[in-house]
Structures are given as C-alpha cells and as structure tokens.
Amino acid sequence: MVNVAVVFHSGFGHTKALAESVAAGARSVGNSVNVAMIPVAEAEARGEELDRADAIIFGSPTYMGGVSAEFAKFKDWTAKRWYADAWKDKIASGFTSSASWSGDKLSTLNQLMVLAMQHGMVWVGLGMKPGNNHSKGSHDDLNRVGSFVGAMAQANADQGVEGIATSDFATMEALGKRVAEIARRQKAGTSQLAEAA
Ligand SMILES: Cc1cc2nc3c(=O)[nH]c(=O)nc-3n(C[C@H](O)[C@H](O)[C@H](O)COP(=O)(O)O)c2cc1C
C-alpha cells in the first residue's frame, strides 16, 4: 500500500475543494494508493498518518503573498518531525490558490518547497507544460496558470468554489496522480533494493 497525505488549510473553501481534486487524482492511480485528507487543524492529532505517508502534498491559499497564518503554524509544528528526520526521503509536492492571476502564488509554492527541503523530502513539481500561453490557448487548458514548481489555481475574490475553473481542478488531479505514481515507483524500487541486499 502506498500512503499519500494531503495536508491543507483553507479559509473560504477554495483550497479545500482543490485538495479534494488532488486526492481524487492520487486515488485514480489504483487500489494500492491510500489517501488521507488532513486539514492543518487536525495535523497534530493525525500526526501518525503524516509519519507513515510515503508522500505528503502541502496545500495553502496564498495570503499576503505567502502561506496562510494557519498553514505557517502547521509548518512550525513540523519542526518536531524535523529533529527526528521523520519525513526524510518522503515524496513532497504542493499547491495553492489565489484571487489574482499572479497574486505572488509562486512565493507560496516556494515556501512549501523549502519546507519540504528542510525535511530532506524529495520535491515533485507539476511536470506539465504551461497551457493558455499561446494564441490558440484557452482557460480550458490544463495548467492554464502556467506553473512548474507545483499546481496553481485562480478564483475570483468575489466568488466561492464555483469560481474555480474546471481546468484548475483537472490540473490538481494531475498533480495528485503524478505524486502517487512517483511514490508508488519509489516504494517498489526501495523494496526491490531491500530484497536484493
Ligand atoms: C488574508 C488574505 C490575503 C490574501 N492575499 C492574497 C494575495 O496575496 N494574492 C492574491 O492573489 N489573493 C490573495 N487573497 C485571496 C485568496 O488567495 C483567494 O481568495 C484564495 O482562493 C482563498 O483560498 P481559501 O478559500 O482556500 O482560503 C487573500 C485572501 C485573504 C483572506
């Protein structure tokens, strides 16, 4: 069994809806993938699920050009795991949403990536060409926001989850699928190496 944890904060539901798509993408890899959806408020109580995860996907809205305060609190809580190298070599990735097209979402993803690097995790980017960056492109394109480091979504400030484009949900699914596939491959490779040793 491959365990994938999606740990996220969402103030107004956008990032939660995106997290559900990330989880659906991971589950689409097959029955061998077990996905835990963990709001940051539950992270302490559900710490064991994070510890046994083969991959952790971090999700935060972009607030004031970075992760939300609630996510930052979780980030600092992970220092307990850092001391013990508890998450070393786990696969990691991340996603964010914001209202503006840029909105400094890259800053948020960079914070998530640095968090993973501090833990010695192995960061997986989106692995997808940008969409909607040429004359025949459209908002229906996957990765319409054009991110590489992780997955990004844009939703207008005056709309709820209905303001999230179908293509952004699909981009999140692609991220979840990619991370679960890579985690599965890594776990299989590790088992093979252990058998051969
Ligand atoms: C405190 C706060 C700060 C925000 N800062 C930004 C920002 O820096 N850039 C941006 O584009 N949108 C910003 N927004 C909009 C949110 O990123 C956007 O509405 C996001 O989809 C919210 O996700 P959530 O519903 O999961 O909280 C901000 C919203 C709030 C409440």
Residue 144 Cβ inside 6 Å of ligand 1? The answer reads no
Residue with tokens 């999606």: 6
Distance of CA 156 to the CA centre of its chain: 21
Residue 100 Cβ inside 6 Å of ligand 1? The answer reads yes
Q: What is the pLDDT of residue 189?
A: 87
CA dihedral angle for residue 125, residue 128, residue 131, residue 133, rounded to 10 degrees: 70
134 alpha carbon – ligand 1 mean position (Å): 27
Q: Which helix (H) or strand (E) holds 58?
A: strand 55-61
Could you tell me the pTM of the whole model?
Answer: 0.98
Q: In the chain, what percentage of residues exceed pLDDT 90?
A: 95
Inter-axis angle of helices 14-27 and 166-196, nearest 10: 40
CA dihedral angle for residue 164, residue 27, residue 25, residue 29, rounded to 10 degrees: -170
* Model confidence at 168: pLDDT above 90: yes
CA angle 149, 73, 171 (to 5 degrees): 30
Which of 7, 8, 62 has most ligand 1 atoms within 8 Å of its beta carbon, as the pocket-test mutant? 62
Region 90-109: what's the mean pLDDT?
98
Of 141, 135, 14, which Cα lies nearest the Cα of 68?
A: 14
Q: What is the pLDDT of residue 160?
A: 97
Residue 59 Cβ inside 6 Å of ligand 1? The answer reads no
Q: Could you tell me the end-to-end alpha-carbon distance of the chain, in angstroms, rounded to an integer? A: 22
Residue 99 Cβ inside 6 Å of ligand 1? The answer reads yes
Enumerate domains of the chain plus CATH numbers. 2-196 (3.40.50.360)
Q: What is the pLDDT of residue 125?
A: 98
Q: What is the pLDDT of residues 25-79, one digit of tens each?
A: 999 999 999 999 999 999 999 999 999 999 999 999 999 999 999 999 999 999 9
Region 116-144: what's the mean pLDDT?
97
Q: Which helix (H) or strand (E) holds 7?
A: strand 2-8
φ/ψ (deg, to 5) at 159: -125, 155
Q: What is the pLDDT of residue 191?
A: 83
Residue 63 Cβ inside 6 Å of ligand 1? The answer reads yes
Round to whole Å and give the CA distance between 173 and 33: 14
Q: What is the pLDDT of residue 101?
A: 96
Q: Which atom of ligand 1 is nearest to the CA of 18?
A: 26
Q: Which pair of tokens denotes residue 104?
A: 């400094």
